[in-house]
């Protein structure tokens, strides 16, 4: 399959999104993959920036898949992606609560996830032509 056909395939993008979800769950396990004291920065609330950025990227992948598969209205696409990834954010926070050295059920993390998803889907609208 040529690179152009690959980037026009909704299956490719949903596959990338699935991989994104798997990585999210692996990262949520906490100390096994990033022990306490690693990846520390002197930036206040750096974890919120990471949550925002990770969900921003995930929203681009899900947006591409939905856009290519169904061509929904922009409002529907943005709302679907934001709502779906907001639910994933809730799952992630709940999932984290079962592991040592992880603080799950943090509403501020969930808000960063949801805002990242919303902003990512808005930005995708601007750059969707890159898929053709």
Mean pLDDT for the stretch of residues 112-130 = 93
Is 39 within a domain? no
Is 40 within a domain? no
Is 36 within a domain? no
Is 107 within a domain? yes
According to the model, what pLDDT value does residue 31 have? 57
According to the model, what pLDDT value does residue 34 have? 53
Place of tokens 């990033």: 34
Tell me if 106 sits within 8 A of 45, measured CB to CB. Answer: no
Is 34 within a domain? no
Percent of the chain with pLDDT over 90: 61
Structurally, how many domains does the chain consist of?
Answer: 1
Around Cβ 28, how many Cβ atoms within 10 Å? 19
Listed as own residue / partner, the contacts of 87-93 with beta carbons closer than 8 Å and 24 or more positions apart are 88/21, 88/24, 88/55, 88/58, 88/113, 89/51, 89/55, 89/113, 89/114, 89/117, 92/24, 92/25, 92/28
Closest C-alpha to 67, from 110, 17, 22: 17
According to the model, what pLDDT value does residue 36 have? 56
Question: Which tens digit of pLDDT belongs to each residue from 54-86?
Answer: 999 999 999 999 999 988 999 999 999 999 999
Q: What residue numbers bound the domain in which 99 lies? A: 3-29+45-131
Is 38 within a domain? no
According to the model, what pLDDT value does residue 35 have? 54
Q: How far apart are alpha carbons 6 and 13 in whole angstroms?
A: 9
Tell me if 117 sits within 8 A of 55, measured CB to CB. Answer: yes
């Amino acid at each position: 399959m040529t690179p152009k056909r690959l980037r026009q395939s909704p299956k490719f993008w949903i596959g990338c999104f699935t991989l994104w979800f798997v990585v999210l769950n692996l990262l949520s396990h906490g100390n096994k993959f990033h022990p306490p004291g690693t990846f520390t920065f002197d930036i206040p609330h750096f974890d919120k920036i990471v949550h925002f950025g990770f969900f921003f990227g995930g929203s681009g992948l899900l947006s591409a898949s939905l856009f290519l598969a169904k061509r929904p209205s922009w409002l529907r696409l943005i709302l679907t992606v934001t709502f779906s990834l907001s639910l994933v954010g809730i799952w992630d926070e709940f999932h984290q609560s079962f592991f040592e050295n992880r603080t799950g059920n943090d509403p501020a993390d969930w808000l960063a996830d949801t805002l990242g998803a919303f902003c990512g889907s808005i930005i995708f609208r601007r750059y969707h032509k890159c898929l053709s």
